[in-house]
Amino acid sequence: MLFAERGYDGTSVDDLVQGLGVHRGSLYKVFGSKRGLYLAALRHHLEDEVLPTVAALTVTSGPAEALAQAAGGFDGGAAAGLLLSAAVHQAPTDPDVAALVEEALRALERALAAVLGEPADSPLIGALGASVLGLRLRDRAFGPAASAPAVHALAVRLAD
Amino acid sequence: MLFAERGYDGTSVDDLVQGLGVHRGSLYKVFGSKRGLYLAALRHHLEDEVLPTVAALTVTSGPAEALAQAAGGFDGGAAAGLLLSAAVHQAPTDPDVAALVEEALRALERALAAVLGEPADSPLIGALGASVLGLRLRDRAFGPAASAPAVHALAVRLAD
DNA sequence: ATCGGTCAAGAACGAGCGTTCCAGAACTCA
DNA sequence: TGAGTTCTGGAACGCTCGTTCTTGACCGAT
């Protein structure tokens, strides 16, 4: 997904037209504007990738596996960049984006809470959700090499 | 800092000229380009804000205080957005930015390792550094309300 | 055969982008 | 004082942006 790789401002409509192989006119007919397409992409990413992955956490064999899957999941890395990018750059100024990002994080925290047997609104769960996001950010900036051991260490330390 | 709030692509040279009160010509004479100014701002943020804050961690009274200070520090929140923004959007495609971001994270991890008495390259320290970043991201997207209890919970759980 | 409606291809639009340039005011220092 | 340098305000450049419009090809139904 182009938005995930280059961010909203870094992706031009020309890039989208060329990358998606769709015609300019169709794009504006269906989505109305660049922002409309962005919101649709974010919603799609949330509903078809983040939420299913998050739902799958609750049937893992334990906290360590659940955390590892959360930090590595979503869709292999590329589109989780869309969530990160939205949280960092769009959410602070766009309420619609902020609502979608918040929904994604709440779902993640609910799943983590269920696995760990904690209340969903506990501070620890909030910290854990943030940790998952931070590990994805690390992957994005430095490549995915370092995160797997890190998340394992965090999991065994927390889920004692 | 404008770059921190709106991101690199979201900040125009006109915005910078007007916001900084500096003349267009002077800006290009000193920094050469918009990217040069961005790198200078990132370097300044790293050396004058991140590194001192990180250094101060090692003299806190304990792990919980150190984590809380790391998650709340840097410079009150605004410019830490510069580090987040750089990590998410510039680092993947700009090696110079990636090097600066990596330097900042390594310094943070070294300090956390010193406070917790762990080796600096241990997976747990990597996870903790990511957690701090993730908590800052949460603050940025949702406002700073929720992070303080979260980081406290994480700290008491980890620094047993 | 012809019609209304959807479609692709891309030209065109005004605005904004990063960058350069210039004319003149303000300084420096012999 | 006066020559040389540095600042300032802003116009101008070529380009790209998001968006709209024109044109012509294709379609099943009349």
Quick one: which of A91, A130, A61 has its CA closest to B133? A130
Residues in chain B: 160
Distance CA A117, CA A87 (A): 27
Quick one: which of A23, A130, A94, A56 has its CA closest to B146? A130
Q: Which among A102, A137, A157 has CB closest to B88?
A: A137
Q: B151 in helix, strand or coil?
A: helix
Mean pLDDT of chain B: 84
Q: Which among A89, A130, A141 has CB closest to B101?
A: A141
How many contacts (CB atoms, under 8 Å) link A and B?
Answer: 155
Q: Tell me the per-residue pLDDT of A13-56, one tens digit each, with 9 for 90 and over.
A: 999 999 988 899 999 999 999 999 999 999 999 998 888 888 88
Q: Given an 8 Å threshold on Cβ–Cβ distance, is A7 in contact with B129?
A: no
Residue with the bigger pLDDT between B74 and B89: it is B89
Contact A97, A39 (CB under 8 A): yes
Report which secondary-structure segment, H or E, holds B160. Answer: none
What is the Cα gyration radius of chain B? 17
For position A147, what pLDDT does the model report? 66
For residue B12, say whether its CB is under 7 Å from any atom of strand C: yes
Tokens describing residue A136: 């994805």
Output helix, strand, coil percentages for chain A, rounded to the nearest 5.
Answer: 75, 0, 25
Amino acid residing at A53 = T
Residue with the bigger pLDDT between B5 and B146: it is B5
Distance CA A140, CA A135 (A): 9
Q: Which residue blocks in chain B are alpha helix, DSSP H?
A: 2-6, 13-20, 24-31, 34-45, 51-57, 63-72, 80-85, 95-116, 123-142, 147-158
Distance of CA B114 to the CA centre of its chain: 19
Report which secondary-structure segment, H or E, holds B90. Answer: none
* DSSP label at residue B11: -
Strand C, nucleotides covered by protein (CB < 7 Å): 7-11, 16-22
What is the Cα gyration radius of chain A? 17
Strand D, nucleotides covered by protein (CB < 7 Å): 7-11, 16-22
Q: Tell me the per-residue pLDDT of A75-128, one tens digit each, with 9 for 90 and over.
A: 455 557 899 999 999 998 999 999 999 999 999 899 888 888 889 888 888 888
Quick one: which of A152, A64, A66 has its CA closest to B130? A152
Angle at B119 between CA A139 and CA B131, to 5 degrees: 40
Please indicate if any CB of chain A lies within 8 Å of the CB of B123: yes
Distance CA B75, CA B98 (A): 21
Distance CA A64, CA A57 (A): 10
Helices and strands in chain A: count of H runs, count of E runs:
10, 0
Q: Tell me the per-residue pLDDT of B19-69, one tens digit each, with 9 for 90 and over.
A: 999 999 999 999 999 999 999 999 999 998 888 888 887 877 676 777 777
Amino acid residing at B8 = Y
